[in-house]
Amino acid sequence: MYKILAIDDEPINLQIIGACLSNDYQLFMAKDGNRGMQLALKNKPDLILLDIVMPDLNGYEVAKMLKDNPQTRKIPIIFASGKTKSQIQTDVEHVGYISKPYNKAELLTLIANTLS
């Protein structure tokens, strides 16, 4: 079973992700970037679903830390945000983007395509 780490500061978003993915994937969830980094290092997920706008460490900073670490650099990252795709400005390697609020079918398809 694939392991997915979801990092989002909004509990409702983590609940939605859990409802969408918990039957098909092993989920780990973090409410902030620091905890997300800890879980990524400990659990070595197959994919990270990463919110962009968070207090303290934002998604861009977390993604850069993940890509700079040899233990996590190859884990694919899907950015999630209420912003539009054209508003996302990053030089951090990522494999996809999904907008919030989440659409279950879109989320499942993007994850399945990324992991295949």
- Residue 9's domain comprises 3-96
Q: Is 83 domain-assigned?
A: yes
Q: Kindly state whether residue 69 falls inside one of the protein's structural domains.
A: yes
- Asked, for residue 116, whether it belongs to a domain, the answer is no
Task: Count structural domains, the chain.
Answer: 1
Averaged pLDDT score across all residues of the chain = 90
- CA gap 98, 96 in Å, rounded: 7
- Within 10 Å of residue 24's Cβ, how many Cβ atoms? 13
For residue range 62-85, list pLDDT tens digits in order. 999 999 999 999 999 999 887 655
Cα 72 from Cα 68, distance rounded (Å): 8
For residue 32, pLDDT beyond 70: yes
The pTM for the full model equals: 0.91
101 against 19, higher pLDDT: 19
104 SS3 class: helix
Residue 25 lies in a domain: yes
Is 30 contained in some domain? Answer: yes
- Could you tell me if 57 and 64 are in contact, meaning their C-beta atoms sit under 8 angstroms apart? no
CATH number at residue 9: 3.40.50.2300
Domain assignment present for 104: no
Phi then psi for residue 30, to 5 deg, are -135, 140
Dihedral angle, C-alpha 14, 20, 25, 27, nearest 10 °: 10
